[in-house]
Amino acid sequence: MTLRDKDMAWFLAQLKPNCIQIAGRNLKRQGIDTFIPMRDETEQRKGKFVTTTRPLFPGYIFVALDVSEGLWRKVNSTYGITRLVSFGAAPATVPLDLVTELIQRCDDEGKLLPPEHFKPGDQVMLTKGPFTATVAEIERVAPDQRVWVLMEIMGGKTRVGVEADSLQRVN
C-alpha cells in the first residue's frame, strides 16, 4: 500500500457501527485506497482462550485521497462511513510517516506482525515488574507486542504474559 502520487494524502474516516466490511467494500468500488490495521486479541470465553482478529483502531478506517480533486465529500457520503475526522471545515490529514510505519508493521492483509527480535525458544531476562532479573524462555510472541514466557516458579513452569519492551535477550 503506497500513495500513487504527491497529491495523495491519508485521512481517517469514522465508521458506522458494525460496518467495517461494508465501508471497505464500498470505498474499494469507488477506487479509493483504504487501510485497516488488524491485530489478534486473546480472551477467555467459557473457560477457554479464544483468539480473534480485531481492528487496531475500532470504528476507524484510513483512507487515501487525492487532495487536489477534493474527493473527501464522496467519502462522507459512502455507505458505512459516518464522516471523515475533521478539525474545522476540512478533514484533517494523518501524518504520512505514521501510516507508512503502520503499513510496514503489517502483513499483506493488514494484520500486525509480531516483533521480529524475539522468537519461541529464546532465553530472556525480565527487566521490569515483580519478576525483574528472572530468566525465562519465550513460548509465543503475539502481534500486539505481548510475549508469553515460561518461568520457573516454585518448582514448575508457569506461563506469564509480558510486554516485549520489558525483556532482554540472554546469551
Q: What is the mean pLDDT of residues 119-132?
A: 85
CA separation for the pair 20, 18 (Å, rounded): 6
As a whole number, the mean pLDDT across the chain is 85
User: Cell numbers at residue 1, please?
Assistant: 500500500
Say if residue 168's pLDDT is above 70. yes
Number of H helices, E strands in the chain: 3, 12
Helices (H), the chain: 20-29, 72-76, 96-104
pLDDT confidence of residue 84: 92
**The CATH fold of domain 123-169:** SH3 type barrels. (2.30.30)
Q: How far is CA 79 from CA 14, 70, 73, 75, in A?
A: 12, 18, 12, 9
The vertex-45 CA angle with 42 and 48, nearest 5°, equals 80
Q: What is the mean pLDDT of residues 124-138?
A: 87
**The CATH fold of domain 8-104:** Alpha-Beta Plaits (3.30.70)
Q: Give the whole-number percent of the chain exceeding pLDDT 70.
A: 92
pLDDT confidence of residue 35: 95
User: Cell numbers at residue 29, please?
Assistant: 468500488
Say if residue 154's pLDDT is above 70. yes
Query: CA-based diameter of the chain, in Å?
Result: 67
88-119: buried (b, 16+ CB within 10 Å) or exposed (e) per residue?
A: eeebeebeeeebeebeebbeeebbbebbeebe
Q: What is the mean pLDDT of residues 75-89?
A: 90
Enumerate residues 6+ apart whose C-beta is below 8 A from 165: 128, 145
pLDDT confidence of residue 155: 84
pLDDT band at 14 (very low <50, low <70, confident <90, very high): very high
Q: What is the mean pLDDT of residues 69-89?
A: 87
Q: Where in the chain is the domain with CATH 2.30.30.30?
A: 123-169
**Which tens digits make up the pLDDT trace of 57-76?**
999 999 999 877 777 788 88
pLDDT band at 144 (very low <50, low <70, confident <90, very high): low
